[in-house]
Structure 1
Amino acid sequence: MCPSFLSISYQIYYIVLPLKNPGNFPFYEFCQPLYNHIFKVKQKGKMDKEDKRRYFVVGSVYLEVVTPLFQQKLKEKYQGLNFRCLKDFLDKKDAIHILFHLRHRNAWCCTDKANCTNHGALPLNHHQWKQLYSENPGPGIHNCFCKYTAKSIKPVDLDLSLCGLILYNCCNLAQLDGKAVHILRRNKNDYLSHNTTCGITKDEYDPLMDELTTNILQLDKTKEDELIRIQKRPLDDSLCNKYMTTLLDIHEIFEKIDTKIELSTNQILNTVHINHAGLTAKIEEFMEKVVCQNCREKLDKKGIKDQPIHPYKLGQSIFQLHHQIDLTSEVDDDEWRESVTDIVMMDDGRLVICLPDQWRLLICNTDGSQVDSIDVQGIPWDVTAVNNSTVTVTLYDSDCIEMYDINNKLKLKSISPPGMSRYGDITTINNKLVVGGKDRLLIIDHQTGEVVQTIQTDSRPGRLHGSGDRIFYCNYYNNNNNNLYWYSYTDDRHHTLSLPSYPRSMTTLQDGSLYVGCRDGSVHVSSDCKQYKSVTTKELKKLKYAVMSYNSKQRKLVTIGDQRLIFKVFNEK
């Protein structure tokens, strides 16, 4: 691939990604210089200052008066219909059906077909629809409103355009009120949403303000004094620039940019003979290197630098209990025997935990603080880290792997490798994913989703763990088989070590030795995997069927034992 094309691709990726996922970015500070560059906004000496002040006044009216007015009207409407919250109102059949067809063209619902409509234009954009609704778990026969459920949002979470769209289409407004909402939304789109010059001329301003005043007072006559006050305010350049980033319809703009980029990219790809999968793989590879470098810098700043490796004496007491995390308040444990099925510790110390009964991943620090979660469309069963911002998860009774960005709480992709076990574990080795199949291990390139290697085994492998050049596993079906198995890339062979009882969980320590959680207690296996001794740390010695995760950067071990909601965090001595 030509270097200049890669350079352009990376720049596009860096520009578009944070704007679509602004949660971890100082949004205004990041976007404003970009707007100036992309849209060539000229604000110094190139525009009449009064044009900018008029833009500032109109923008202030929309953000300080119209937006909260729309939000309040929407709340009054659904409360007047005896709905206790916006979610319940949006789940109402009439509302979801109307909004569904404002987003989806040529879709005919399995129920209420008589009221299905097919709009030429789709005023509800993709971002707005995703803000309102999530898809229900399980496959659907076709695209229908019955497949969606409203999210738990409040009117204050909605911007003017979306709030006005719901008011106008779903709330049975009186004729004059409906007309007022329509005009206010239309003028926002006409004068602000696509106005990248940050200016409004006097010829536009006077009739526009007259129309805004008339329609705002139609909805709320108490707003007159507030409108007069805003019209007299002087220009505040900083606030004006900030308002601009809010008023521009960024998601619609970037959907259009995406389309143009895709068309241009197709032409370039054909020229340099590479497909989209190849381009995506290259970009993801580059991003992973950047992420890893950023993580390395952050860890260094925190004083978590690579430390010299000292081999452990087999069976010595390595860890001491530091504290426990009790997740009883986070997990409802009245349905599932195993409320937590897997856990991984990231390089920055965060824990990512599978909660199958709640269909989500729990994320928290090793002290139990800053608890957050990611909803999963399925039952998360096993988890492994790809890098410090990305994890992959297997789903119970599914042959699908899902990849998540835990910083932005986004699903990045789904991978369905042929031959994957529907109840298998997952691990990583040499920057590749490893899953089990029927009498085989599947090595998967997570960037392309392709199975790049198949390793035959004598049995169905279960509870996987990758370390160095070895993939460890146990026999999935036979709980009386006490063997720990591993495949070694060094000699391209499978090896076996017989343990006192059935092995369930493995984690590698910083010297290459392993802790293995077995049915009758944990054992310490030497780095050459030729011998073992019982673990001597009091809290670990009798730990049965433990799920455990060690991180060499943190020098910490976290375990889940018989008390499935109690996590124990150990520090190295």
Structure 2
Amino acid sequence: MTLLDESNYRMDREDKRRYFYIGSVYLEVVTPLFQQKLEEHYKSLNFRSLKDFLDKEAVIHILFHLRHRNAWCCADKANCTNQGALPLNHHQWKQLFAENPGPGIHNCFCKYTAKSINLVDLDVSLCGLILYNCCNLGQLDQDAVHILRRNKNDYLSHNTTCGITRDEYGPLIDELKTSILQLDQAKEDELIRILKRPLDDSLCNKYVTYLLDNHEMLERIYSRIDHSETHILNTMNRNKTQLSAQIEELKQTVVFQNGREKLDKQGIEEQPIDTFKMGQSIFALHHLIDLTSEIGDDFSRVVPAAVMMDDGRMVICLPDLHKLLICNTDGSNVDRIHTHEGPWAVTAVNDSTVAVLMLVMRIELYDINTKHNIKSISVPGMWLGTGITTINNKLVVYAERTLQIIDHQTDKVVQTIDTECGPYRLHGSGDRIFYYNNANDFNNKLYWYSYTDEQHDTVKLPSQPMCMTTLQDGSLYVVCKDGSVRHVSRDCQQYETVTTEGLERLKYYWMLYNKKQGKLVTKGDQKTIFKVFYKI
């Protein structure tokens, strides 16, 4: 007998189809999205692995109290909590942490150490729990994660009928779409694809096995098997080894198929996230593109900034011409957005929207697909030359000796951060905002502000930094005033000079990189010629 045996459940086929859609969304979209967000968070804090992040005292302390009630720790007692419910079950705790040899007599988080666990080993429930409780999410993202976790529990984890009614489905799918797109608007195409697919009974049966609260199921088996193994095997029609193997096989299949489909659809080769060795050759020059016909050959014409979107399109500011130039990195599919004022700096808000800092000291948001101006945001006292960037889904500009953090959805300044100098070329990465001090030609320091410890810090380079971009592993390429490119480690404690052919000495302080594309772009010897490098 299977969990979907019609003689037992007699479910309506349309209820099953709706269950299949919701289950597919959770396994193929929400699970990898949660894993991606968790990875982005711990890498932004300079943790090399999930294990290192889980071993952080604040993280293990939070998770300890999500599993243990009436326990008071020997360290950090001020942050001990006593939960009414314990959302982290015994199986999940054992999956994450091991007890240290020779533990003390008291029950405390200091008795445990994180295990070496991979992101793909975390199911949607556990990954969402860590993301919600241990990561510094913005309010909208936190609400989205909460809604996705809640609906998984309400409609899938304990749904042994394996069906969803028509009345439940409409509001549920609307809520899922809104929450998923809040976390990543690039997922819209995947949602559309899933909701158009036909019902696959075999795949649905597998998904049921995974979507039910398997950890709870396995734990019951483990606790009762010594007393009544025969009874359980007859009831479940599978032994614990078979069930575990089936779950593991499904996890690997879903993760691989989802990742492969996404990469194939985008035409991007699969790129594992490695830690780059300082000084190694990471990129190779692939081709040049000539945009002279679009930009013009006026020597004085300024091309101050650009951004590369996740789909590979470049959006280039042309303030003299009052337009944004859009094209692929091979120079094809050239398009334009004409602006009323000169665009000076640009940053990506999501896959289809850019925020542009205009010469009239105003921020304009544009949809690069429809070419529509979405909105205009004014920030009193905003400086022009500093540029614009994003961090934690918020915009960042400089105004009145402070970094201004702006919620582009409400147009409000939600935070101000004092700086010791006027920052230029703002660059947001992870939990840090990088910049340099253009007011002092002899200041070779790269500055940054860290949200993690709410501190400013610097690293001194051989030449003044002028432009920076973050690579796939969190390290940086910094273009310096002497034309050299320095590879700065993720912790900003060391650097090496980049000797890659084509990057040894740059004429212009201009560089783009997109980690999903694995492509890096600089200007050539002419400001209308662009060098495109591919990751080796």
The alignment's TM-score, normalised by the length of structure 2, stands at 0.52
C-alpha contact 2:181 2:187 (8 A) present in aligned 1:
no
* Aligned-partner Cα distance in 1 for 2:180–2:273: 29
Aligned-pair CA distance for 1:476: 3.0
C-alpha contact 1:424 1:437 (8 A) present in aligned 2:
no
Aligned residue number for residue 327 of structure 1: 291
Aligned-pair CA distance for 1:561: 4.6
Aligned residue number for residue 432 of structure 1: 394
Listed as ranges, the matches of 1:536-547 within 5 Å are 536-547=499-510
C-alpha contact 1:440 1:461 (8 A) present in aligned 2:
no
Listed as ranges, the matches of 1:136-151 within 5 Å are none
Q: 2:490 aligns with which of 516, 527, 532?
A: 527
Q: Deviation digits for residues 360-398 of structure 1, max 9, x if unmatched?
A: 0000011000100000111111111011100011112x2
Q: Does 1:357 align with 2:320?
A: yes
Q: Determine helix, strand or coil for the equivalent of 2:341.
A: coil
Listed as ranges, the matches of 1:439-518 within 5 Å are 439-518=401-480
C-alpha contact 2:180 2:187 (8 A) present in aligned 1:
no
Q: Determine helix, strand or coil for the equivalent of 2:533.
A: strand
C-alpha contact 2:318 2:325 (8 A) present in aligned 1:
yes
C-alpha contact 1:424 1:462 (8 A) present in aligned 2:
yes
Q: Determine helix, strand or coil for the equivalent of 2:293.
A: coil
Alpha carbons of 1:552 and 1:564: their partners in 2 closer, same or farther (altered >3 Å)? same
Gaps of 5+ in 2: 1-176, 191-260
* Aligned-partner Cα distance in 1 for 2:301–2:486: 23
Higher Cα Rg, which structure: 1
C-alpha contact 1:519 1:545 (8 A) present in aligned 2:
no
* Aligned-partner Cα distance in 2 for 1:552–1:543: 21
Listed as ranges, the matches of 1:98-497 within 5 Å are 288-289=182-183, 291-294=185-188, 301-304=265-268, 307-334=271-298, 337-396=300-359, 398-497=360-459
Aligned-pair CA distance for 1:480: 2.5
Aligned-pair CA distance for 1:479: 2.7
Aligned residue number for residue 93 of structure 2: none
Alpha carbons of 1:378 and 1:286: their partners in 2 closer, same or farther (altered >3 Å)? farther
Aligned-pair CA distance for 1:309: 1.1
Give the partner amino acid of 1:410.
H
Aligned-pair CA distance for 1:287: 5.6
C-alpha contact 1:508 1:515 (8 A) present in aligned 2:
yes
Alpha carbons of 1:507 and 1:451: their partners in 2 closer, same or farther (altered >3 Å)? same
Q: Determine helix, strand or coil for the equivalent of 2:459.
A: strand
Alpha carbons of 1:340 and 1:565: their partners in 2 closer, same or farther (altered >3 Å)? same
* Aligned-partner Cα distance in 2 for 1:566–1:349: 18
Alpha carbons of 1:504 and 1:307: their partners in 2 closer, same or farther (altered >3 Å)? same
Alpha carbons of 1:423 and 1:391: their partners in 2 closer, same or farther (altered >3 Å)? same
C-alpha contact 2:313 2:326 (8 A) present in aligned 1:
yes
The alignment's TM-score, normalised by the length of structure 1, stands at 0.48
Alpha carbons of 1:285 and 1:484: their partners in 2 closer, same or farther (altered >3 Å)? farther
C-alpha contact 2:266 2:311 (8 A) present in aligned 1:
no
Q: Determine helix, strand or coil for the equivalent of 1:312.
A: coil
Q: Deviation digits for residues 386-431 of structure 1, max 9, x if unmatched?
A: 11100011112x2200100000011100101223213330000110
Q: Determine helix, strand or coil for the equivalent of 2:502.
A: helix
Aligned-pair CA distance for 1:547: 1.1
Alpha carbons of 1:284 and 1:404: their partners in 2 closer, same or farther (altered >3 Å)? farther
* Aligned-partner Cα distance in 2 for 1:545–1:286: 39
* Aligned-partner Cα distance in 2 for 1:501–1:561: 21
Listed as ranges, the matches of 1:75-86 within 5 Å are none
* Aligned-partner Cα distance in 1 for 2:397–2:419: 12
* Aligned-partner Cα distance in 2 for 1:449–1:377: 20
- Equivalent pairs counted in the alignment come to 290
Aligned residue number for residue 552 of structure 1: 515
* Aligned-partner Cα distance in 1 for 2:179–2:390: 15
Alpha carbons of 1:484 and 1:295: their partners in 2 closer, same or farther (altered >3 Å)? farther
Q: Deviation digits for residues 2-55 of structure 1, max 9, x if unmatched?
A: xxxxxxxxxxxxxxxxxxxxxxxxxxxxxxxxxxxxxxxxxxxxxxxxxxxxxx
Alpha carbons of 1:462 and 1:404: their partners in 2 closer, same or farther (altered >3 Å)? same
Aligned-pair CA distance for 1:295: 5.7
C-alpha contact 2:288 2:530 (8 A) present in aligned 1:
yes
* Aligned-partner Cα distance in 2 for 1:534–1:376: 39
* Aligned-partner Cα distance in 2 for 1:313–1:295: 36
Q: Deviation digits for residues 534-564 of structure 1, max 9, x if unmatched?
A: 1110201111442111111111101125521
Alpha carbons of 1:377 and 1:330: their partners in 2 closer, same or farther (altered >3 Å)? same
Q: Determine helix, strand or coil for the equivalent of 1:529.
A: coil
* Aligned-partner Cα distance in 2 for 1:285–1:326: 41
Q: Determine helix, strand or coil for the equivalent of 2:186.
A: helix
Q: Determine helix, strand or coil for the equivalent of 2:188.
A: helix
Alpha carbons of 1:526 and 1:309: their partners in 2 closer, same or farther (altered >3 Å)? same
Q: Determine helix, strand or coil for the equivalent of 1:363.
A: strand
C-alpha contact 1:284 1:447 (8 A) present in aligned 2:
no
Gaps of 5+ in 1: 1-282
* Aligned-partner Cα distance in 1 for 2:313–2:263: 13
Aligned residue number for residue 220 of structure 2: none
Give the partner amino acid of 1:436.
Y
Aligned residue number for residue 220 of structure 1: none
Aligned-pair CA distance for 1:359: 0.7
Give the partner amino acid of 2:343.
P
Give the partner amino acid of 1:292.
A
C-alpha contact 1:438 1:459 (8 A) present in aligned 2:
no
Alpha carbons of 1:529 and 1:560: their partners in 2 closer, same or farther (altered >3 Å)? same
* Aligned-partner Cα distance in 2 for 1:353–1:456: 30
**What is the percentage of aligned positions where both structures have the same residue?**
61
Q: Determine helix, strand or coil for the equivalent of 1:301.
A: helix
Alpha carbons of 1:523 and 1:338: their partners in 2 closer, same or farther (altered >3 Å)? farther
Give the partner amino acid of 1:312.
F
Alpha carbons of 1:472 and 1:385: their partners in 2 closer, same or farther (altered >3 Å)? same
Aligned-pair CA distance for 1:522: 1.0
Alpha carbons of 1:475 and 1:469: their partners in 2 closer, same or farther (altered >3 Å)? same
C-alpha contact 1:518 1:544 (8 A) present in aligned 2:
no
Listed as ranges, the matches of 1:22-101 within 5 Å are none
